[in-house]
Each structure stands twice: as C-alpha cells, then as structure tokens.
C-alpha cells in the first residue's frame, strides 16, 4: 500500500487545484450575493478534493469508477447552470467548464502528474483572470489581419502534409516540405510581433513597438523610424528604436537555429548574446548622451501583416534560392564561398541564410563555417539598417549610428573568432 504521506500530498495537491481556481472565480464574482453564484471557493475546493479521492479509489478498483463520478459531477454542474440561466439569463459557461476542469486536473495530479497539473491550473487561472485584457486585445486585431492568418494556416496545414519530404535538383538542395515548414515558422514568429504591435499600439511609444517590429521585420521598422526621424530632427528616440529592433533580430535567429539545428547554438549563443548586449548598451548610450525627446503623437510603425500568402511565397522563393546557392557556393568555392554568400544575403534578409546554414550544418557543412556565416550575415544586415536610417533621416545628424552599430557588433565577432 502507498505510504500515508504520499496519499496526503496527492490529496493536498488536488485540494489546492480546486482552491486556486475557486479563489479566482470567487474574486471575479465577489460583487454578487452569496446565493447568486453557481460556485465559489468551497465548491471548487470540494470538486478538486472529489477528483483526487475518485482517482485514488479508481486505482484500487476500476477506472470506470472515476468516469462515473465525473459524469455525475458534470450532470450536477449542467443542472446548476440551467437553473442560473433561468434565474439570471446568464448564458456564460466559463464557470461550469472551470468546475469540470478542476475535477480533471485534480485527478490528473493524483494519478502521478502533479507538476503538469499545477502548471495547467496556473494557465487556467490566467485565462480566467485576464478576461478584460484578452477581450481588449481582440478588439485591437483587425478582421483582415485575423482572416489573413486563417487563410495561411489553412493552406499550410493542408499543403504541408502533401509536399514531398525529399531533396530535388543539384545536390538535392531543394526540399519542398522543409522549405514550406520554415516559411510557416518565420510567418508565425513575425505574426507574434505583429500582434504585439496591434495590442501595444502607439500609446506605449516607439521603443515598445520596436520590440514587436523587430520580430516582424527589423528592416521595415528601420524605414519607418527613419522617416519619423527626418520629420523630427535630431531625435535620438528613433535611433534607439532602430538599435532595439536590430537587437530583437538576434532573438529571431536564435529561435530559427533552435528549431532547425539546436546543437549549433552551443557555438553560436555566446557571439549572438554579445552582439545583442552590445546593441542594448549602444541604445542606453544614445539615450543618455544625445537625449531622447518625447514625440508628439507619433504615427504607428508601418509594418504589414506577415500572414499573407504573397509574402509567404516570396520568402519561400528567397529561401529556396539561398538553399541552392549555399550548396553551390560550398561546392564551387568551399567555406569562402559560404562566407561571401552570407555577406550578400545579409544585405537583403538574415532569416533565409540562417535557416539555410543551420540545415547545412546538420548535414555536411562544418559547424564552424555555419556559425561564422550566420555571424557575418547578422553583421551585414545590422550595418545595412544603420546606413539606411542615416541616409533617410539625414547623414548630418545620424552618421554616427552605423559606426556605433559596428562598434557594438565587433565584440561579438571577436568572440566568435576566439571560440572557433
């Protein structure tokens, strides 16, 4: 028989799950009278404890026991919800589902998975408690943005399983399945940044929206901020936005490498982290030395919804071209050809070359060559953004930005060379 203290811990966990969800529900309905609520702290605690006890008994008898208890609890919850609807015309079912979920999570914890059960409980409490925030987020998302994402997701889920997962062409460099899977990955990362911008909005300022813009397209953010800087002369706030968006680009690269070839991060994380830290320090220096003035009602950063089929196809073609060229340059010119392609690719886009070199390193490309190629692409792409900003905003006021970005990136390059 299981020791008594183990049984006590399991039952306490089950009780805690019901208690935590019950506290949130009780707080949410605190303005209502005692008899007007379908359930409160005590009811949820009892449901959690019932789920735990039922799970313990089922392990000694049959699993049909807990199924029967759950059906009985669900029937009572449904009856209570119907009575509440008749009395108050409240059609919301959130509390009813939370009660059922409390029972299931408590039983799951007793069955030997307390940590995942508690983690899901925390998620449930967050979803229940942040109802106003979630609804406000939805109001900030435009219908066109939502349905553009739905279209791409449908096409991806339908198309991806149908694509052949094998190489085609010279060196078998082109894999349709892998290429489209990377398109979906980049689109998802970009969409998270785009949604962040929609949720935050222009009220939170340039730097906050630069974070989301950096996940979507740091180059697009650079163009927008450069136009703002041209209108408001010598404002360090916009230069800081470019530095922040450029730093966020390194987070994108880490995610891409982590998905494609996690082992490559062992040699890559330190140089990328050093470059990221260098850009953040440069941002702080710009703020303090040049003085960032508050803008008067700046326009929102112009970033298009990344979940559009046209943009996805364009990136897919670019990635396919980079995949082919990386194999060709490696075969024709060795590692120096890869480095040259990395520099050229960095002038346009860093995602395609990062994904391509990560994939090649997983196959036959030396890890040192892949790491240095990704570093060169990041260096080139960052410097290009600095030059673009200075050119559009005015070289007279902003010629120092590319030099500052170069100084921020050099330590990371030195770290990469030292490690390799």
Q: Name the token pair of 165.
A: 């997962």
Question: What value does the mean pLDDT take over residues 105-114?
Answer: 87
Which residue has 């449908």 as its token pair?
Answer: 154
**Where is average pLDDT lowest: 13-17, 79-83, 86-90, 397-401?**
86-90
Look at residue 374 in the predicted model and tell me its pLDDT: 92
Mean pLDDT across 43-69: 85
Read off the pLDDT band of 1 (50, 70, 90). very low
Give the span between the Cα atoms of 265 and 278, in whole angstroms: 19
Instruction: Name which residue leads in pLDDT, 65 or 24.
Output: 65
Could you tell me if 401 and 242 are in contact, meaning their C-beta atoms sit under 8 angstroms apart? yes
Helix axis angle, 335-346 relative to 367-393, nearest 10°?
30
Domain count, the chain: 2
- The encoded tokens of residue 351 equal 């995602």
Instruction: Determine what percent of the chain is predicted with pLDDT higher than 70.
Output: 75
Q: Model pTM greater than 0.75? A: no
Q: Which of 79-83, 183-187, 349-353 has the highest mean pLDDT?
A: 349-353
| 152 and 31 within one domain | no
Of 101, 129, 157, the last residue of a domain is 129
Say what the pLDDT of residue 149 is: 66
Q: Rounded distance, CA 301 to CA 186, Å? A: 20
Between these two residues, 270 and 332, which has the higher pLDDT value?
270
* Cβ contacts of 145 within 8 Å, gap of 6 or more: 194, 198, 305, 307
Q: Among residues 129, 152, 170, which one ends one of the domains?
A: 129
Q: According to the model, what pLDDT value does residue 319 have?
A: 79
Contacts of 410 (CB under 8 A, 6+ apart): 278
- Would you state the pLDDT for residue 89? 58
Residue 413 and residue 288 in one domain: yes
138 within domain boundaries: no
Q: What is the pLDDT of residues 279-322, one digit of tens each?
A: 999 888 887 775 555 554 455 555 666 666 677 777 788 878 88
Average per-residue pLDDT in the chain?
78
Of the two residues 85 and 410, the one the predictor is more confident about is 410
Domain assignment present for residue 139? The answer is no
Residue of 144 and 61 predicted with greater confidence: 61
Does one domain contain both 125 and 170?
no
> Using CA of residue 283, residue 285, residue 290, residue 296, what is the dihedral sign?
positive
In a domain, 290, yes or no: yes
More confident residue, 155 or 266: 266
Do the Cβ atoms of 382 and 412 come closer than 8 Å?
no
Q: Does the pLDDT at position 388 exceed 60?
A: yes
379 with 297, same domain: the answer is: yes
pLDDT average, residue stretch 213-227: 77
Q: Give the pLDDT score at 172.
A: 67
> For residue range 21-37, what is the model confidence (pLDDT) as tens digits?
888 777 665 555 555 55
**Could you tell me if 345 and 381 lie in one domain?**
yes
Residues 120 and 213 in one domain: no
The pLDDT score that the predictor gives to residue 206 is 67
């Amino acid at each position: 028989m299981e020791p008594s203290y183990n049984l006590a811990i399991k039952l306490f966990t089950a009780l805690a799950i019901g208690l935590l969800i019950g506290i949130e529900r009780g707080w949410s309905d605190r303005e209502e009278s005692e008899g007007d609520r379908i359930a409160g702290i005590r009811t949820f605690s009892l449901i959690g404890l019932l789920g735990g006890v039922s799970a313990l008994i089922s392990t000694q008898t049959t699993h049909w026991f807990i199924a029967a208890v759950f059906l009985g609890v669900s029937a009572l919850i449904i009856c209570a919800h119907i009575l509440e609807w008749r009395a108050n015309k409240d059609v919301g079912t959130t509390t009813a589902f939370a009660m059922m979920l409390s029972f299931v999570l408590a039983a799951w914890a007793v069955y030997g998975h307390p940590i995942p059960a508690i983690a899901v409980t925390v998620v449930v409490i967050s979803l229940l408690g942040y109802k106003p925030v979630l609804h406000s987020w939805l109001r900030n998302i435009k219908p066109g943005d939502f349905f553009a994402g739905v279209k791409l997701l449908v096409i991806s889920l339908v198309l991806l399983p149908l694509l052949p997962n094998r190489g085609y062409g010279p060196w078998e460099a082109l894999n349709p399945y892998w290429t489209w899977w990377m398109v979906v990955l980049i689109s998802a990362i970009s969409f998270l940044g785009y949604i962040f911008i929609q949720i935050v909005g222009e009220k939170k300022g340039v730097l906050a929206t630069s974070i989301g813009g950096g996940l979507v397209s740091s180059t697009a953010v650079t163009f927008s901020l450069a136009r703002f800087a041209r209108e408001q002369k010598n404002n360090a706030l916009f230069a800081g936005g470019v530095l922040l968006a450029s730093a966020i680009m390194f987070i994108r690269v880490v995610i891409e490498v982590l998905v494609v070839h996690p082992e490559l991060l062992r040699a890559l994380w330190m140089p990328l982290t050093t470059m990221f830290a260098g850009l953040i320090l440069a941002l702080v220096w710009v703020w303090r030395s040049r003085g960032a003035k508050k803008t008067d009602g700046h326009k929102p950063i112009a970033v298009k919804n990344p979940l559009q089929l046209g943009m996805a196809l364009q990136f897919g073609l670019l990635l396919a071209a980079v995949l082919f060229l990386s194999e060709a340059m490696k075969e024709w010119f060795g590692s120096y050809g890869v480095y040259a392609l990395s520099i050229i690719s960095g002038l346009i886009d860093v995602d395609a070359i990062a994904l391509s070199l990560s994939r090649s390193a997983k196959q036959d490309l030396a890890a040192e060559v892949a790491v240095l190629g990704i570093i060169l692409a990041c260096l080139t792409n960052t410097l290009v953004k600095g030059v673009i900003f200075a050119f559009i905003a005015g070289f007279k006021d902003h010629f120092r930005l590319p030099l500052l970005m170069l100084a921020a990136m050099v330590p990371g390059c030195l770290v990469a060379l030292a490690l390799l």
